[in-house]
Amino acid sequence: MNEVLEQIINRNDTWRGRHRRFHHHEPSANSERHSPHGGGAGLATGYGSLDAQLDQGGWPLDSTIELLSDSNGLGAMGLFLPAMERLSEQGRWQAFIAPPYIPYAPLLAARGIDTGQVLLVHPKNRQDLLWSTEQALRSSTCSAVFSWLGTHNYSYSELRKLQLAATNGDSLAVLFRPTVAADNHAPASLRLQMREYRRVHILKQRGGNQHIDVDLPQAEDVPGQPQLWELPTCPPPAAALGSAG
């Protein structure tokens, strides 16, 4: 599987962060080095109010998470910054597949995220997008996979393939989709909506509370660090992913 991801990395539409090399001898995803959790526990979100409402006490690392938003998940990346910082300690790739905006490197670096581990993949079409996402999820070399599925229509079976890939891996697997996707069934074990500023709606959760709102108070922000939250409307096309504070 490492060879498959290396094919993605070597493509001319893929960008790698600086000072990061791909090693075939990196430990597997099931090794103790990679596992930030134990006994099926989730990865802490960095927000106690949200962890308290999640069945695993944090982000599940054995399934896909869907984040539904009308702002392309731009501000919603703030939800995952603390987890990205922790995952950065593993030395594995954090893949951004089909991001609508360029990640803002200074913000990531300010939050302790190694930008040399950021892998940008720009698929040429819908099929390429699904393939890249599945391979990244199956690979042991990614600690996080963020995939923007766009406004395409996806069958349950297509999303199921991504779910199975995440189940067999050990990555934070986040799929960004538009709010209208909430009307369709999806295999993701956790589906969230960002409809209001600093408020997360748990639309679906396997084994836990559903259809509840979770407020994220400013007291849970990292003092002195840049924050990023969902915006009520889409920013101008020139905006960069992570440039809002």
The answer to whether position 129 is within a domain reads yes
Tell me the percentage of the chain whose pLDDT exceeds 70: 73
Per the CB < 8 A criterion, the answer to whether 192 and 203 are in contact is yes
The predicted model gives 223-238 an average pLDDT of 52
Residue in 232, 214, 241, 236 with CA at minimum distance from that of residue 94 = 241
Which CATH number belongs to the domain containing residue 213 in this structure? 3.40.50.300
How far apart are the C-alpha atoms of 204 and 7, rounded to whole Å?
Answer: 35
Q: Is 185 helix (H, G, I), strand (E, B) or coil?
A: coil
Domain with 82 in it: 2-17+40-220
- pLDDT of 100 reads 87
The answer to whether position 232 is within a domain reads no
Strand order in the sheet with 199-205: 14-16, 118-121, 93-97, 142-148, 172-177, 64-68, 190-196, 199-205, 212-215
The mean pLDDT of the chain is: 80
The answer to whether position 152 is within a domain reads yes
The 8-class DSSP code of residue 96 comes to E
The answer to whether position 225 is within a domain reads no
Q: Is 14 helix (H, G, I), strand (E, B) or coil?
A: strand
- pLDDT of 30 reads 36
3-state helix, strand, coil split of the chain in percent (to 5) is 30, 20, 50
The answer to whether position 235 is within a domain reads no
How far apart are the C-alpha atoms of 192 and 115, rounded to whole Å?
Answer: 26
The 8-class DSSP code of residue 220 comes to G
Residue 245 has pLDDT above 60, yes or no: no
The answer to whether position 148 is within a domain reads yes
Residue 192 has pLDDT above 90, yes or no: yes
- pLDDT of 238 reads 40
Residue 1 has pLDDT above 60, yes or no: no
How far apart are the C-alpha atoms of 160 and 140, rounded to whole Å?
Answer: 19
Tokens of 167: 């189940």
Residue 47 has pLDDT above 60, yes or no: yes
The answer to whether position 26 is within a domain reads no
Of the listed ranges 56-60, 86-90, 216-220, the one predicted with least confidence: 216-220
Per the CB < 8 A criterion, the answer to whether 171 and 143 are in contact is yes
The domain total for the chain is 1
The answer to whether position 240 is within a domain reads no
